[in-house]
Structure 1
Amino acid sequence: MASMPVDYTGPLQQLMAQAGISSFRALARASGLSVGIILQVRRGQLERLRLEGVLRLSQALGVSVEDLLRQFVPDLKPAPASPPTADADRVAAVQAEYDRLQAQFTEQREVLQAAFQAEALSTLEAWLLQWPTAAYAAQQNAQVPAARLVPLMQPVEKLLAAWGVRAIAPVGAEVPYDPTLHQLMEGSIQPGDLVRIRYTGYWHDDKLLYRAKVSPAKPPGASG
């Protein structure tokens, strides 16, 4: 005699409600799975999904892979603490693979984020190098209309700060000359001599992005 079809629509809808997902189509979008695969889950065929599909569904519903398997795989029984059973080993193996994929996704996300930041900073290179000097000049003369534009750049500066981009020194600052951080635009000086920042340079986290362009703080031949 054929067994009655299994219907997990109710339990799935409960998890969807807890996750704020209103329809099976919305669940398919949230998980990146097809509506047909969601139908398989409703019919008690979760175990037929590839592990990546189970992972995506668990993330969309906000439950662990272990809880998802226990609720939607009919023959998966709770395992006693000791001795371990085949079901317990199966759950442990799936959980380990879940943890591995989670770490892999996190690493991929960080790599993509770093690549995006690098591309964006390359596009912004001219602005990064020229804007602080233009803003400094404008701030020295309040009559210059450009001075009114300086506050408008604060959101961009906050974004750069969030990315870990920071200036070596502000324009106009006088600092000891360090050839690893500074590019001398004119004159001849020794490391440690005072130089004035003319175009600021940048760090990106712990990496030197651009050296600051500097000139001697004292004109040639000037006395102490």
Structure 2
Amino acid sequence: MDFSHILTGIVFWLIISIFFLITFGSSSGKNDHKFSLAKKSPSNTTKENNLNDLNNNDNREEIINLQKQCQRLREELEAQSSLLKSDFRSETFEQLQPLLTNYPTARKMAKTKPDLPAKNLISLFTSLENLLENWGYETIGKPWEKVNYNPQIHQADSDDIEVGESVYIRFVGYRDGDNILYPAKVSLNLPPNLQS
């Protein structure tokens, strides 16, 4: 279980505790008076009032302490969230650094030399593949692979494609276990320049 989920649970519990203290803490003293069978003397009433004042003061102090704890936990949760975000960004940048460093130069080369073979640029994407592998993401299909259409994992480029019909994967999709992050885009035909 993630630390932020635990902190969120604690904050939620504290808020509910404060609510119950406010709602039922002060009313319990009132209910005790209803069920008292003995006739109260003025001195007993004064003592009870003093006790009620003490209980109310104790309740107020406890509520204030709980509110302070709640605020402290919120601040810790925000700090933890910020730290996790920073760590995630740093780790992701570290894994993508070769791609991010080489991409601007490769882009300039592609503009300067449009006849540059694309295979010279493929090695740039190794770091991206490694990142996806570290995250546990899997591709759905392979480019231009012939498969049977499944609307659960594929996105058709036209409405007339039937379930089970043979299609080609134009662009791969991605999944994280059973969760489909992005469906593979499929078509009945390959692009004209790729058909034999």
Higher relative contact order (CA 8 A, sep 6+): 2
Larger Rg computed on CA atoms: 2
Which TM-score applies when normalising by structure 1? 0.33
Question: What is the TM-score when the length of structure 2 is the normalising length?
Answer: 0.38
